[in-house]
Amino acid sequence: MTESIKKYGKGKKYDRYASPEGGAAVGLGNFDGVHLGHRALARKLVSEARRLGVPSVIYTFEKHPQKVIEGAKSTRLIMTNDKKASIFGELGVDGIYFEDFSREYSAMTPEDFARDVIKDRLGAALVVAGENYSFGAGGKGKAQDLAALGRRFGFAVEIIPEVKVNGVVVSSTFLRKLIKEGRLDEYPQYAGAAYTIPGTVTHGREVGRSLGFPTANIMPKKGFVLPPDGVYVTSSRIGDRVYTGVTNIGRNPTFDMKYRSIETFFLDLEGDLYDCGIELEFVKRLRGEIRFPSKEALEEQIAKDVTAARRLAAEKS
């Protein structure tokens, strides 16, 4: 993170928030993916906070609300809380508050939220939200209601218009669509950065080693959106090092594997990465997963995939 940011919340993981004298400028939203619309909101938040001479704070949730409401059927995540905090810190935001979203919290009326949370707990002098923002039980409160409640409880409200790219409204839902369809090379123009999945490097089935391309098995953090089966050019951050690679997601039909896995061949890697934490960045989808007629045919295709990855890495360097 190039800029430090203070984390606040109820749990042991975060420091306790104290309403600052003179108030704060507060940005509201779930912010999964921190896409271009979220970034526009953050820039407005920081600008207004500096104009008013107050700290800027993002107010969001420790868990995705749908995780509490729907459980196992909940929306898959795009980004970790730490990554959100890092990006907002880079954008100049002073603090981020992770709310403990619960069923009790979800039953709060829009009026109670505006009074008890925005005004009393956060001490907001100004609130910034997107035009599609909803709040309160069942999402009853809308942006125009927030403005009216601000007048009632004594805080100003700035509503940020939706951001469009190529005629498409940028949203976390649209980002998930891109990921699920394997359109990872398009993702950055809507999100502002490539899609990454956090995980751990583990011992795998070592199929790649038998083909002359030793791979590492990637165990992704649970609950994140996964691209469809196929072969991808990836860029992996492990500690302070970055490695270009070719990543296969799927069951490796040539060898009739039963379980879906994520396996990466790191270009120009020396050493052992097992048990290391990893941030796997998806650059481009090369092809779908194919059943090859022979081991030799698969080896030949992997060599072509590696050549394509090297070429793409050289173009980006």
Residue-level pLDDT at 156: 97
Residue-level pLDDT at 269: 74
Spatial contact of 46 and 84, defined as CB atoms under 8 Å apart: no
* Residue 102 confidence class, pLDDT cut points 50, 70, 90: confident
* Residue 251 confidence class, pLDDT cut points 50, 70, 90: confident
Please tell me the distance from the alpha carbon of residue 153 to that of residue 136, in angstroms, as a whole number.
Answer: 16
Spatial contact of 232 and 249, defined as CB atoms under 8 Å apart: yes
Residue-level pLDDT at 138: 87
Indicate if the pLDDT at residue 211 is higher than 70: no
The whole-number average pLDDT for the span 237-249 is 90
Complete domains list, the chain, with CATH: 6-165 (3.40.50.620), 194-316 (2.40.30.30)
Residue-level pLDDT at 205: 57
* Residue 252 confidence class, pLDDT cut points 50, 70, 90: confident
The whole-number average pLDDT for the span 51-77 is 84
Nearest of 277, 84, 312 to residue 184 by alpha carbon: 312
Convert the pLDDT of each residue in 170-201 to its tens digit: 999 999 999 999 999 999 999 999 999 999 98
Residue-level pLDDT at 2: 43
The whole-number average pLDDT for the span 141-154 is 96
Please tell me the distance from the alpha carbon of residue 32 to that of residue 166, in angstroms, as a whole number.
Answer: 21
The whole-number average pLDDT for the span 94-112 is 92
